Amino acid sequence: MAQVHIEVRPGAYRDSVSLLEVSRAVASSPGVEDAIVAMGTPLNVDLMRELGFHLDQPSPNDLIIAIRAIDQAAIINGLSTMAAEFSSIDQRARSASGDGQLAPPRSVGRAHDADLALISVPGTGAFAEAIDALEAGQSVMLFSDNVPIWQEIILKEFASSRNLIVMGPDCGTAVIGGVGLGFANVVRPGPIGIVAASGTGAQQVLALLDLAGVGITHCIGVGGRDLSAEVAARSTMSAIAALAEDPDTKTIVLISKPPAAEVAELVRSSTSAISKPVVFALLGEGSPDLTKTTEEILGTIGVVVPDWPSWGEVSTLRATGKYLRGLYSGGTICDEAMVIAANQLGQIRSNIPLRAEWKHDPFAESIEHTFIDFGDDAMTVGRAHPMIDSTLRIERLHKEMADPSCGVIIMDVVLGHGADADPAPALSSAISEAHDHGQKTPVIISLIGSSGDPQGLIRQAEILSGVGAFVTVSNATAVNIAISLIQMNEAS
């Protein structure tokens, strides 16, 4: 029994030539017997009646869709052919330049076929661009920082209401379906889905998983403030829900600083109905470090923890002074290192101090144990991020090596998309230069990178260890070694 579909769309004008094209395409879709898509002019309505479509006289400004097909499925098929045909006509028009000169769009919303917008404009302009993207149906990765929290809340509310997500603001790292956004490591496909409120924290976990032979589905960044009481985990909840539904994701990992109590409750209750394991990797004092967390994740999928690779010989290293100095480009791993170090060594001065009274001006000389996060907002004003440009860190390295109170230096080197294309040579020549001046302070490198990163993990490690630096892929290991060298020096 043939099915008939007649639909009137008031005011939906299309020109007659386009409509002929569309009608022809619908009529030739499988199972469709007759199809007319036309404006409701008297002529067209007569034509439809001759084909046995019965309809009242519509307005000439109404678009009429009339389809007869063998069954309902064929009608639905015909309608989707129609939608595709209209969209291909629109696409043809939008990409027509007339003279071949197409200027690039001036706002993300005008990139009509984009699914996602990666926005890294200055913070004051970021909100308008992000709203525009959401209105155009694009999810957003908001790399920009200095976005006020009220704007973040509006963006995230709006995104949830449209079934979209805002990753950020101040989101440095994400991997969506293998595509690295911002500072992201090259990862293999695998069963782990990550939600991360911390960029370098996520990179440490991504890199270690990769070195254990384990891949990920996605790493969804949410921005450092997402689990604050004000933002109330809006993006985290959307990300967890999406990973819960994603068939390829077997284990969900949330990497974050400890959230506000009510937010933690909110997140836990949202995960209670999820049948997949959810691992909370909370950073900070009293929590396991990222290496231990990664080992726990491996446990949930029954993968044996490997020996984390390192390059260099610890036994040959001797601290040259009493104090530990940390020169970091990644905020979260700097924080992780300070938590471990403070536990053993006590007060650690820093521009991102664990306690307010340990605050230290990063441009002033180091005092006792001092850690500097060179990626902190205040240090990147008018300057590229230290993962891209290591000039400041290398200057500081020279100073610390010349300082007799400095016993051991710990640094991170972050690889992956977006980062310095070849960081090791500049760093190793700075170390050699210091050695030439008789400065022998040991340098411990926490090398955050996966086996597939474009810089070449092993090559970077070998260049650095070639000048006597000790290199390890685990930040926790790196800091523990540095601490033990300091302690050995004190004991002797």
Partner 1 sequence: MNELRGLLQNNNLKIATAGVPLLADALSDQLVPISRIDWRPAVPGSQEALNRVMADGRRDGANSLALARMLAAGALLVDVRQAKDALGLEPGTFLHAGPPLTWERASGPMRGALLGGTIFEGIASDAETAEKILSSGGIDWEPCHHRDAVGPMAGVVTPSMWMFELLDPTTGNRSWCSLNEGLGKVLRYGAYSGEVIDRLRWMREVLGPLLKLAVQRRNESPAGPIDVQAILAQMIQMGDEGHNRNRAGTLMFLRDLLPDLIESGAANSDVATSARFMGGNDHFFLNLVMPACKLQTMAARNIPGCSVVTVMARNGTDFGVQVSGTGDTWYTGPAEIPVGLFLGSYTEKDANPDIGDSAITETAGVGGFAMAAAPAIVRFIGGTVPDALAATRRMYEITVGENVSRGIPVLEFRGSPTAIDVTRVIRTGILPQINTGMAGRIAGVGQVGAGLVNPPMECFEGAIQGLAQAAPQVG
Which of 32, 181, 196, 445 contacts partner 1 by CB under 8 A? 181
**Residue 21 in contact with partner 1, rule: CB under 8 A:** no
**Residue 87 in contact with partner 1, rule: CB under 8 A:** no
Pair of tokens at residue 116: 């996602």
**Residue 164 in contact with partner 1, rule: CB under 8 A:** yes
Which of 50, 56, 113, 307 contacts partner 1 by CB under 8 A? 113
Beta carbons within 8 Å of 447's beta carbon, 6+ residues apart: 412, 413, 415, 457, 460, 461, 464, 471, 472, 473
Rounded Cα gap, residues 334 and 363, in angstroms: 17
Give strand ranges (E) for 344-485. Answer: 349-350, 370-373, 406-414, 443-448, 470-472
**Residue 346 in contact with partner 1, rule: CB under 8 A:** no
Contact range with partner 1 by CB under 8 A, out of 159-167, 221-229, 250-258, 284-292 = 159-167
* Closest among 280, 273, 272, 276 to 296, alpha carbons compared: 280
Shortest Cβ distance from residue 297 to partner 1 (Å)?
19
Backbone φ and ψ for 49, nearest 5 degrees, come out as -65, -40
Contact range with partner 1 by CB under 8 A, out of 224-232, 239-247, 253-261, 402-410 = 239-247
**Residue 166 in contact with partner 1, rule: CB under 8 A:** no
Greatest CA separation found in the chain?
A: 104
Pair of tokens at residue 41: 């002019």
Determine which helix (DSSP H) or strand (DSSP E) holds 377, and give its type and residue range. Answer: none
**Residue 119 in contact with partner 1, rule: CB under 8 A:** yes
Which of 2, 7, 13, 378 contacts partner 1 by CB under 8 A? 13
Backbone φ and ψ for 436, nearest 5 degrees, come out as -60, -25
Shortest Cβ distance from residue 328 to partner 1 (Å)?
20
**Residue 125 in contact with partner 1, rule: CB under 8 A:** yes
Identity of the residue, 16 or 432, whose beta carbon is nearer to partner 1 in the bound complex: 16
**Residue 96 in contact with partner 1, rule: CB under 8 A:** yes
Which of 18, 41, 287, 439 contacts partner 1 by CB under 8 A? 18
Rounded Cα gap, residues 59 and 431, in angstroms: 81
Query: In the block, which residue shows the tokens 């090259």?
Result: 186
Shortest Cβ distance from residue 180 to partner 1 (Å)?
6
Identity of the residue, 238 or 320, whose beta carbon is nearer to partner 1 in the bound complex: 238
- Is 51 in contact with 73 (CB distance < 8 Å)? no
**Residue 41 in contact with partner 1, rule: CB under 8 A:** no
Rounded Cα gap, residues 426 and 67, in angstroms: 69
* Closest among 189, 247, 245 to 219, alpha carbons compared: 189
Contact range with partner 1 by CB under 8 A, out of 122-130, 252-260, 312-320, 463-471 = 122-130
Rounded Cα gap, residues 289 and 331, in angstroms: 14
Per-residue mark of binding to partner 1, 447-486 (x: CB under 8 A):
-------x--------------------------------
Shortest Cβ distance from residue 160 to partner 1 (Å)?
10
| Contact set for partner 1, span 248-267 (CB under 8 A) | none
Distances in Å between the Cα of 185 and the Cα atoms of 20, 61, 146, 388, 415 are 50, 54, 25, 14, 7
Which of 72, 88, 107, 432 contacts partner 1 by CB under 8 A? 107
Rounded Cα gap, residues 141 and 166, in angstroms: 6
**Residue 236 in contact with partner 1, rule: CB under 8 A:** no
**Residue 93 in contact with partner 1, rule: CB under 8 A:** yes
Shortest Cβ distance from residue 136 to partner 1 (Å)?
9
Residue 458 CB neighbour total at 10 angstroms? 12
Binding-residue total with partner 1 (CB under 8 A): 73
Query: In the block, which residue shows the tokens 């939008």?
Result: 94
- Is 223 in contact with 171 (CB distance < 8 Å)? yes
**Residue 275 in contact with partner 1, rule: CB under 8 A:** no
Contact range with partner 1 by CB under 8 A, out of 10-18, 45-53, 253-261, 275-283 = 10-18
Which of 19, 36, 165, 267 contacts partner 1 by CB under 8 A? 165
Per-residue mark of binding to partner 1, 403-432 (x: CB under 8 A):
--------------xx--------------
Identity of the residue, 117 or 482, whose beta carbon is nearer to partner 1 in the bound complex: 117
Identity of the residue, 131 or 348, whose beta carbon is nearer to partner 1 in the bound complex: 131
Beta carbons within 8 Å of 77's beta carbon, 6+ residues apart: 29, 30, 31, 32, 69
